[in-house]
Structures are given as structure tokens and as C-alpha cells.
């Protein structure tokens, strides 16, 4: 066989493999998954608490399957909903988001926003996420985030944008702290600085993007757990789910799931916390692909600490 024919066949095979991978990645981006995680974080003899963590919907009016999945989460009957932002991906998505949450809005909930609640998404080359962060942020046309905030507030959800709050849920008194989106530099850590309430049963911190400066501050202030999203779990991962990038300064080994912060700390260590990062339910609407990283929501069952 001539060299020309070998090159041609190799190119055809590579092209077919690329088409196949793209098709698979588009399919996987629609395989919505519910994760279950147990976190030993409550005081002894405290009743378990079921926390539903939802993040990064990036919802558009036409994404019917995603809307139905979010609606189905109400069947879990969680005690608390934590929404870590990036709900929107279209200027007409606010009513769709509120309708998708449906009965979940009748439950206790807290929320913060991400960059894609504030600004209209734009087409981007997903390979740019593999490059070092150059500090540029896409902040063009605004999305109607005030309408989304008004909808959550009407439902009784607590806005944790650069503030503290407290709720009693299922007999558990929770002290919260939250910040605005660290990816945009909107976080105001000074506004929530200081020791977490030592009299609360649970101290929970919330942020959209898990930047180390935010995680360090919350762990140092004594929060038992930190909940975040933003990373999409790496979105395009190697086989086995190994992430190549996090879109922030968190290391890829903790791009999703339950970990400790700092990474080498153990439960009970001072200045340390549990960290849960959601891989989220969506993507940029112009690049709806995922590889080895299915879209997810997580039901966290909080139970008493052991030892």
C-alpha cells in the first residue's frame, strides 16, 4: 500500500473517531445523574439532615429533559436546598428556572449566584479551559438576574450574597455564610469574616466558585462544611473521570465530590472543613459536551460526626 493511501486512511479513521467522540460527548451531556453522599458533620445524636445541592444548570427554554430532571428532584423531599449558582443561559430562562424548581421552592433553601446568572453566555473554545487563566472574564450583556433573585426571595429562599444568615431546619440550627461569585472577583470576604457561630449545630459556607482564598477563609473561620460548584467536574475528563482543568485555582484532584479542605487535613483538625464541589447539571449552551463527567445533582445526607 502506498504512503499516500496509508495517510488518507489514517486521516479518515481519525476523522471518524472525532465524530464519534463528539456524538458521545453530546449524549453524555444529557445523562442527568443523582449522586448520593454522606457527610459526618453533625453533633452527636443529631437527627440526619438531607441537603440537595444543585449547581450550574445553565438552563435555556428549550432544554426540556434538564427541566424535567430538576422537577423530579422534588420527589426526594430534601430538608434543605442549596443552589450554588449559574442557573441561567438565556435571557428568557428565569421563568423556566423557577418552574423547574417547582415544589423545591416550597422547601427551605439558600442560594448564591455565578457569572452565568449575571451575563449572557458567549461561544467559546472549550480547549481554552486547559490553558492558564489569563484573568479575562466575559461580562457582556446582562441577564435578568434581579428577576431570578426576586423569584427565589418570594419563595422564601435565603440570599447568601456576601452575607451571613441562620435557619433552623428539621431541628438543626444552621449558621450560614456566603459570598458572591469569586470567579468574577465579586466575593467580599471581609463582609462575612470572623468566627462562625459556635452555638449553631452546623456551620455551612456557600460559594459558586471554589477558589482557594475563599475556602481558606471559611475553613479558618470554623465552618464545618463548604459547598460550591462552577468546575463542571472538569467537563471533559480522561477515562475514569480524571479532570484536566477546574477553571479556578482548585487542583483537579478535588474538582468534584466530597473532600477535605485543606486537602491534607483530617476531620477534627483545626482550621479545616468538609468541601463538596458539584459537577453541575449544564454546560455553556454553545458547547453542550461532557466526557467521563456526567451532569449531576447531589443529595448530601448529613449525619453525626464519629470518633
Q: Which residue has the higher pLDDT, 4 or 156?
A: 156
- Alpha carbon 186 to its chain centroid, in Å, reads 17
Domains located in the chain, CATH noted: 31-304 (3.60.21)
Question: What average pLDDT does the segment 6-15 reach?
Answer: 48
Residue 7's H or E segment, with its range, is: helix 3-28
Whether the CB-CB separation of 186 and 167 falls below 8 Å is answered with: no
Is pTM beyond 0.75 here?
A: yes
Q: What is the pLDDT of residues 204-258, one digit of tens each?
A: 999 999 999 999 999 999 999 999 999 999 999 999 999 999 999 999 999 999 9
User: How many Cα neighbours within 13 Å face the side chain of 217?
Assistant: 20
DSSP conformational letter for 59:
B
Q: Residue 264's pLDDT band (boundaries 50, 70, 90)? A: very high
Query: What percentage of the chain carries pLDDT values higher than 90?
Result: 85
- For residue 88, pLDDT over 80 is answered with yes
CA–CA dist 131, 297 (Å, integer): 27
Quote the radius of gyration of the chain (alpha carbons, Å): 20
Torsion sign, CA atoms 192, 196, 200, 204: positive
| pLDDT at site 23 | 87
The closest of 52, 36, 46, 35 to 305, measured between CA atoms, is 46
Amino acid at each position: 500500500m502506498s504512503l499516500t493511501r496509508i495517510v488518507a486512511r489514517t486521516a479518515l479513521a481519525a476523522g471518524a473517531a472525532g465524530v464519534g467522540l463528539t456524538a458521545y460527548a453530546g449524549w453524555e451531556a444529557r445523562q442527568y445523574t443523582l449522586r448520593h453522599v454522606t457527610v459526618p458533620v453533625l453533633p452527636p445524636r443529631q437527627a440526619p439532615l438531607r441537603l440537595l445541592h444543585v449547581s450550574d444548570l445553565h438552563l435555556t427554554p428549550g432544554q426540556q429533559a434538564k427541566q424535567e430532571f430538576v422537577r423530579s428532584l422534588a420527589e426526594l423531599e430534601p430538608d434543605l436546598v442549596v443552589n450554588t449558582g449559574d442557573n441561567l443561559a438565556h435571557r428568557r430562562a428565569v421563568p423556566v428556572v423557577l418552574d423547574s424548581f417547582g415544589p423545591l421552592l416550597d422547601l427551605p433553601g439558600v442560594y448564591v449566584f455565578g457569572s452565568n446568572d449575571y451575563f449572557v453566555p458567549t461561544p467559546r473554545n472549550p480547549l481554552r479551559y486547559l490553558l492558564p487563566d489569563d484573568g479575562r472574564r466575559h461580562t457582556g450583556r446582562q441577564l435578568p438576574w434581579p428577576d431570578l433573585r426576586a423569584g427565589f426571595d418570594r419563595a422564601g429562599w435565603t440570599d447568601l450574597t456576601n452575607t451571613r444568615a441562620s435557619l433552623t431546619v428539621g431541628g438543626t440550627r444552621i449558621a450560614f455564610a456566603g459570598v458572591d461569585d469569586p470567579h468574577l472577583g465579586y466575593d467580599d470576604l471581609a463582609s462575612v469574616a470572623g468566627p462562625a457561630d459556635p452555638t449553631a449545630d452546623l456551620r455551612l459556607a456557600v460559594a459558586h466558585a471554589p477558589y482557594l482564598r475563599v475556602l481558606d477563609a471559611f475553613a479558618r473561620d470554623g465552618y464545618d462544611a463548604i459547598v460550591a460548584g462552577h468546575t463542571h467536574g472538569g467537563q471533559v475528563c480522561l477515562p475514569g473521570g480524571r479532570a484536566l482543568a477546574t477553571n479556578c485555582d482548585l487542583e483537579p484532584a478535588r474538582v468534584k465530590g466530597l473532600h477535605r479542605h485543606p486537602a491534607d487535613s483530617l476531620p477534627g483538625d483545626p482550621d479545616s472543613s468538609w468541601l463538596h464541589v458539584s459537577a453541575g447539571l449544564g454546560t455553556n449552551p454553545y458547547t453542550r459536551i461532557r466526557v467521563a463527567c456526567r451532569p449531576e445533582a447531589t443529595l448530601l445526607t448529613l449525619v453525626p460526626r464519629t470518633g
